Structures are given as C-alpha cells and as structure tokens.
Amino acid sequence: MLITTCDKTFTLQPDETLLEGLERTGHDVEYQCRNGYCGSCRLKLISGQVSYNEPPLAYVGKDEILPCCCHPQTDLDIVCHLRVNTPEHNPDIFARDLFETE
C-alpha cells in the first residue's frame, strides 16, 4: 500500500502497522497504547479505506483512523507531518557554542 502524508509518500511494509511505517519514515505521530484503546495516535484520513480486526475502544470519527491498529485496504492519503529535527527545534543544550562568549 502507498501511504501519502503531508510531506512524503512511502510504501507500507507487509509486516508493519501504519504507525510503525510512519515512525520508520520519520513522521511525528503520537501514541500511547499502540492497541486501539487510547486514541492518542488518531489521524485525519483524506482518502482511502482502512479496516480493524475489532472495533477500537477509542473514539474514531468518520474521517479519522488509528494507525496503531488499522489495516489499510487501499492506498491512503492522511494528514501527518515529518518530525521537525532542526537545531532550532531541538537545541543541544550542551553545545559548547551556547556557553561560549566572545
């Protein structure tokens, strides 16, 4: 299955969940239970279809999916962004230049 997010398109591997695929490809996605209970991983679905082995306990709106436990049935287009990993967003507080004076 091809997964298209706001920032990239990737192929979901047969042995990984959508959550695992998003993590592998550098996306910023929340999670806690990884099993359909908490709803932390909820994402907006733009197009495509997913199924669940069992109805998840967490609330899922009609245009939302839980990537930890859904099974894509078609290619998906979802709202998810890559992790921001720049020095401005994740400053190294131990970097020497922060403490150096002129």
The sign of the torsion formed by the CA atoms of 59, 66, 27, 40 equals: positive
Min dist CB 79 to ligand FES, Å, is 16
- Letters for 14-53 (x = contact with ligand FES by CB under 6 A, - = none) are -----------------xxxx-xxxxxx------------
- Report d(CA 36, CA 27) in Å as an integer: 19
In terms of CB distance, is 7 or 30 closer to ligand FES?
A: 30
- Report d(CA 45, CA 18) in Å as an integer: 12
Q: Applying CB under 6 A, which residues contact ligand FES?
A: 31-34, 36-41, 58, 66, 68
